[in-house]
Amino acid sequence: MEPMNVTHISEFLLLGLSQAQELQPLIFGLFLSMYLITVLGNLLIILAVSSDSHLHTPMYFFLSNLSLVDICFTSTTIPKMLWNIQTQNKVITYEGCITQMYFFILFAGLDNLILTVMAYDWFVAICHPLHYMVIMKPQLCGLLVLVSWIMSILNSLLEGLMVLGLRFCSDLEIPHFFCEFNQVLQLACSDIFLNNIIMYFSAGLLGGGPLAGILYSYSKIISSICGIPSAQGKYKAFSTCASHLSVVSLFYGTALGVYLSSAASQSSHSSAITSVMYTVVTPMLNPFIYSLRNKDIKRALERFLGR
């Protein structure tokens, strides 16, 4: 098959989750509902934190940033998917595909880093409670978030520029509901060895690195909790970070499950379906996980909605 120069490519085709026409209204309604719940839930968290002075602490500052990232994360993929279903048109332009891929990598990496920063915040709060306010100053919190943004932007920019240098074959069908990086690479006719090296390196740096940091933080947290003499004290200490631990487990568990299952089955269609878990379901559940187990968030939401 003769490769076609990248400058001649005008569009890709997103095949979506299913090509059965009778399922399209169901998929549209389901994903529209999940997207609206995700945006509304995370937006309420942001508004509650910003409107309540009692929540102007490092923990809730990071939580509001996570909610903002989750809104952006789902907004890179779901609106285009819904538009394609509604118009019965599977086309995404070449520029649109590269842009979508850039922002997806950006916010996925940012999600990892914000969760890691939150784990560090819990580590300081539980393991060094007397020095918490000295360590977690507003300047440090802002710097941690800023560094997370810079690292994610540079990583997604590098991977996006590498894709721009590829040449693609005439088969431009992507068996996914968005321009997933690995799926786009599979369509290239030119050598993708360097792209794969960069992809695995960034996965290790922005995926494995943050995960290692989270595991280290929680190993220290669990060790400190075990040293508390009373059972009530242990329960109280653990319950404070249970929400974050639940979100971390959900995000990394589903993401790892997607890539391990796709590697085992080699099925692009099954990978597209299972990737819904960490791209859509996890951001949708985050507000519920944090609000249902957090009395401060509940009170802030009640006051905000009471206005």
CATH code: domain 6-306 is 1.20.1070.10
144, 117 contact by CB (below 8 A): yes
Domain boundaries, the chain: 6-306
Backbone torsions φ then ψ of 91, nearest 5 degrees: -80, 140
Q: What per-residue confidence (pLDDT) applies to 219?
A: 93
298, 203 contact by CB (below 8 A): no
Residues written for the chain: 307
Cβ neighbourhood burial of 16 (10 Å; 0-12, 13-18, 19+): buried
Residues 6+ apart with CB under 8 A from 224: 126, 127, 237
Q: What per-residue confidence (pLDDT) applies to 267?
A: 57
For residue 232, the SS3 value is: helix
Sign of CA dihedral 272, 16, 204, 38: negative
Output the tens digit of pLDDT for each of the chain's 307 residues. 444 444 457 889 999 888 888 999 999 999 999 999 999 999 999 999 999 888 899 999 999 999 999 999 999 999 999 999 999 999 999 999 999 999 999 999 999 999 999 999 999 999 998 999 999 999 999 999 999 999 999 999 999 999 988 888 877 889 889 998 888 988 888 888 898 898 888 888 888 899 999 999 999 999 998 888 888 878 877 777 888 888 888 888 877 766 666 555 555 666 777 788 888 988 999 888 887 767 888 888 888 877 5
Angle between helices 295-306 and 24-51 (to 10 degrees): 90
